[in-house]
Structure formats: C-alpha cells, structure tokens
Amino acid sequence: MTSISHFGYYLMKIRNLALLGLICYSCSLNAQIDYDKYPNSNKSLLLKNALVVYDANKTPTLQDILIKKGKLDRIASNISAPYDAKIVDLDSMFVYPGFIAALSHVGIKKEEEKDQPKIKFQGAPTNKQAGITPEKTIKSQLDVNESSIEKFRSNGITTANTVAPGKMITGTSALVSMSGDQTQRMIINETTGVFSQFKSSGNVYPKTIIGNMAKWRDLYHNAKNASNHIKNFSTNPSLTDRPAYDDATTALIPVVNNTIPVFFKTSNAKEMYRAYELKKELGFNLVFSECRQAWFAKQLTKNVGVNTLLSIKLPKEIKEKKEEDLTDEQKKLNQKKKEAYRNYLAQAALLEKEGIGFSFSFIDGKVSELKKNILKMVEAGLSKKKALEALSLYPAKLLKIDRLYGSIQQGKYANLVVTDNDYFDEKSKIKYVIVEGELFDYSTKKEKKSNTGEGAIDIEGTWDYEAEIFGQAQTGKVTVETADEE
C-alpha cells in the first residue's frame, strides 16, 4: 500500500507541474505586446546633436535631449543612451518648444448647418434656439480622428485650447494634446474657459449687438444668483430651498466665481470695447480673442491688463496699381488700404513695444498660414524672441500650464518642434514634432498624386488665356491658387 501511495503522490505532483507549465506558457503568449501599437510606452527617446533654442534672439546650444515617460529627463552634452532608447541623430537641427494654439476649433468636426425650425415666439426663444449653450463640453464633441489634428501637429502645434463653433455662447473650451487615440487621453484640462462672440442665431432674440449685451447681463446675473443660492444652501440647507437650475446657468457659475475666463471673439476694435464694457460692469475674467485691430485699442489692452490673442489670419497683400490709372479719390482709398495693411502686419510688434503680452488664435485663420504670417510679422518689426514666446510660453501661462508646458526644461513634457534650419528662415522645414514623448516624422514628405497616379502638376500662378466666344477672340490673364482646407 505504501508503494502505491508514493506512486499516486508522485503522479499528482507531475500532473500539477505540467498544469503549471501550461499556464506559464499561456501567460507568456498573452504577454507578447506589440509596442508599435503603444507609441506612448515607457520606451526612451534620445535626440542627439540638437541645436536647442531657448531664446530665438540668441545662438542655440548644441546638446542631447533624453526623453523618458513623455517628459524631458535630461538636456546635456554627450548623454549615454539607455538600453531601451530609440536614438535619433538630429545632426544640428534646431529644436524649439512645442507650439500652443491659445484658441482654435481643432478636433471638432464641422456640422452641416440645418434649417432652423420655425420659432413661434422669436422674442423668447430657448437658450439652444438662441445659440446659448455654455453647458456644451469639448469632451462630448472631440473626434480623435478629425483631420485638423494632423494639420495642426504637422505645423508645430503640440497642444491646443479648443472650442466648438456656434453662435453667441458655444460652450466651454478644453486643453487638448495633439497626440492620443482616445478622447480621455487627449484632453489635458476639460474646462479652460467659455467661448462667446457677438453673433446672433437668425431672427430670434438677441439678434442685435445691444440685445446680445443685454442677454449677457441677464445670463450673468442669473448665474450669480444661482451661485449665491447654492452657497447658502450648503451652509443652511434647512433655511432655503434645494437649488435647481438649468444647464446654461450652472455652466456659467465658474465664470461668475472667476475660476475660468471668457474667451470673447473681438475681431475689430468696436467689439473689443464692447466686450470690455461687459467685463467692467460684470467683473468676469476676459480674454480678447481673434483680434485683428488691436492697434486701435492698444491703450485699452495696455491699461486694463486683459490678455490678448491676435488672429493668425492676415489680410491679403494690397496689389500695386499704376498711379496714372487712378483718380484722386482712388489714390486716397488705395493709400488708406496700404496703411491698414501695414497696421495689420505691425500690430504684434506694436504690442511688444508697449510691453503687452499676447498669443495667437486660430478661429478664422488657417494653421497652414502660421509660419508665413509669423514671418510677415517679424519682417514688420516683431522680434523672433517675442514671436516664439507668443507660440509657447505666453499661452502656457495664460492657460496655467507653464509648470509642465511652454518651454524646454527638465521635468516638463517633451513637446518639441524640430526644424532643419532656423524656424524663422523662410526655407526651413519642420522635420519632426514630438508630443509628450511621441515622435512624428515629417522628414520625408509624401509626393502628392494625381488621379492618374502620376506626380501632381503645379498649376499655381498667373496664366495668359485666349478663347473664342461667339466668334470674338477674347484674351486676358487668370490667377490659379490652391485652396487649403482646414
């Protein structure tokens, strides 16, 4: 019996060992991870021989940059590569802090405008009918596959404060990373402010500027009363009714409490003054946004300390006309147009001269025009240093993220733009963009293909044409431009 017991014991032990081996083998199969599918893994990235630009007015420093877990781990000379590091030799390419879009619509799909249903009482529409939706969040509208994300990133934008398009109050803005495959991974801060504009929603109240301002006062005071009610209820719940307010009122309470600002689209000087009158009367934190005539209101901007976002959009250059072909009135008008154009180009330099901080918004302008228009501003007197700050450190401070974003500094997130030459050189190109440690390679541009599969033909420019119309020969010139959809 003893020998049989021993035999059974050993048999059971062998069976258990075999079962354990099968479990381990199965686990090893499941543990084989395709790291290519996880670009933000813990792998390190070492950039060798980088010309690091801390100040665009000064000579860059030749250094190596070690990135670990999405952050800048070391910036020094001759850094030894960790065993798991991907090494990229930049061979004296320029490295800048990642650009920040202080206000944009990036990541939001354009909705087709639908015909509004007939509103019975046009003087008393619902908030939604009036285009007043501060309760709308970016989290519910952000599309991680939206094409504008790649367009922004390829132009050096690594982080963006994004808002949805709309009418009077479109919703809250959110800070979004230009990297990630899930909404929750891309959103850095769900609520950075509220976006508003002097824009009506058809033929319903408030359809005038005066009506818009009156409605703002009404909304603000409702939110203020709601805030006070909620505070009183939390202190003495037995002495007051339980608070119950609509979503729009509740969403504006942080504005009333000055915990978030209002990004007010103020394209012209009149809108800047109108928005400021509301701010002065009500007391909310204001950010002038998408400004295109800031030079008209420079004293306002300087004296009241309101943050300013200049529109990246610039008007088209005024074409030269032969003086002998113009009347005196046309000459005066042409001169005024030229002066206004120069003011548009020089307003960034003017704000710098006045000591006014600013950044850029991309509500009306195309991100593809970023570099071209920045260079025009630099040519008009803006310093390279201030231009770089306006694209990085200033918006980081405005959005209260400068502890981790906005400059090249150990411990901050690895958001970088790599160019083959000085960014402010007209011919320089962006070769790499790094977003929180994830490397995006733009060093080899894909050739555009035509429908036939051959290389695309460049037809931009001015062309002479000749045509026969009703037996009459017609000649002239036609200009062909490429439309760049954003």
At 145-198, the pLDDT tens digits run 999 999 999 999 999 999 999 999 999 999 999 999 899 999 999 999 999 999
Model pLDDT, residue 486? 46
Amino acid at 130: A
Helix 384-391 × helix 328-353 angle, to 10°: 80
Model pLDDT, residue 7? 46
143: left (phi over 0), alpha (psi -120 to 50) or beta: beta
Residue percentage of the chain with pLDDT more than 70: 80
Nearest to 382 by CA among 418, 404, 359, 352: 352
Helix 370-379 × helix 384-391 angle, to 10°: 150
DSSP state of 238: G
Model pLDDT, residue 26? 45
- Assigned token pair, 228: 């006070």
Model pLDDT, residue 4? 45
Model pLDDT, residue 368? 96
Note the helical H segments in 286-369.
Answer: 298-304, 328-353
Is 308 in contact with 357 (CB distance < 8 Å)?
yes
Using pLDDT thresholds of 50, 70 and 90, give the confidence band for residue 116: low
Model pLDDT, residue 229? 94
Residue 91: is its pLDDT beyond 80? yes
| Separation of alpha carbons 423 and 371, rounded Å | 8
The alpha carbon dihedral of 169, 172, 176, 180 has a sign of negative
The alpha carbon dihedral of 291, 293, 299, 302 has a sign of positive
Is 295 in contact with 347 (CB distance < 8 Å)?
yes
H/E element, 440 = strand 438-441
Is 88 in contact with 47 (CB distance < 8 Å)?
yes
Nearest to 184 by CA among 174, 170, 193: 174
Note the helical H segments in 197-268.
Answer: 209-235, 247-251, 253-256
**Section 51-78 average pLDDT:** 95
**Section 354-380 average pLDDT:** 96
- Name the average pLDDT for the chain: 85
Amino acid at 24: C
Nearest to 92 by CA among 428, 410, 388, 386: 428
**Section 109-130 average pLDDT:** 77
| Separation of alpha carbons 63 and 464, rounded Å | 52
Model pLDDT, residue 461? 52
Compute the half-sphere exposure of residue 305: CA atoms within 13 Å on the CB side of its CA. 2
**Section 286-307 average pLDDT:** 83
SS3 132: strand
396: left (phi over 0), alpha (psi -120 to 50) or beta: alpha
Top mean pLDDT of 46-50, 242-246, 294-298 is at 46-50
Nearest to 396 by CA among 161, 222, 206: 161
- Assigned token pair, 223: 């939110």
| Separation of alpha carbons 181 and 186, rounded Å | 7
Residue 28: is its pLDDT beyond 60? no
Global pTM reads 0.82
SS3 65: strand
Residue 389: is its pLDDT beyond 60? yes
- Assigned token pair, 454: 């051959």
> Where does residue 14 rank: exposed (0-12), middle (13-18), buried (19+ CB within 10 A)?
exposed
| Separation of alpha carbons 173 and 191, rounded Å | 6
| Separation of alpha carbons 65 and 67, rounded Å | 6
Residue 327: is its pLDDT beyond 90? no
Model pLDDT, residue 478? 57
Model pLDDT, residue 113? 64
The alpha carbon dihedral of 324, 327, 332, 334 has a sign of negative
pLDDT in tens, 297-316: 777 777 777 899 999 999 98
| Separation of alpha carbons 186 and 176, rounded Å | 5
H/E element, 260 = none
**Neighbouring-strand partners of residue 173:** 193
Amino acid at 105: H
Residue 406: is its pLDDT beyond 60? yes
Cis peptide before 254 (omega within 30 of 0): no
Model pLDDT, residue 25? 44
Using pLDDT thresholds of 50, 70 and 90, give the confidence band for residue 458: low
Residue 475: is its pLDDT beyond 70? no
Using pLDDT thresholds of 50, 70 and 90, give the confidence band for residue 439: very high
The alpha carbon dihedral of 180, 182, 183, 185 has a sign of negative
| Separation of alpha carbons 112 and 96, rounded Å | 38
- Assigned token pair, 360: 């850029």
Q: Pairing relation of β-strands 61-68 and 71-76?
A: antiparallel
Model pLDDT, residue 203? 82
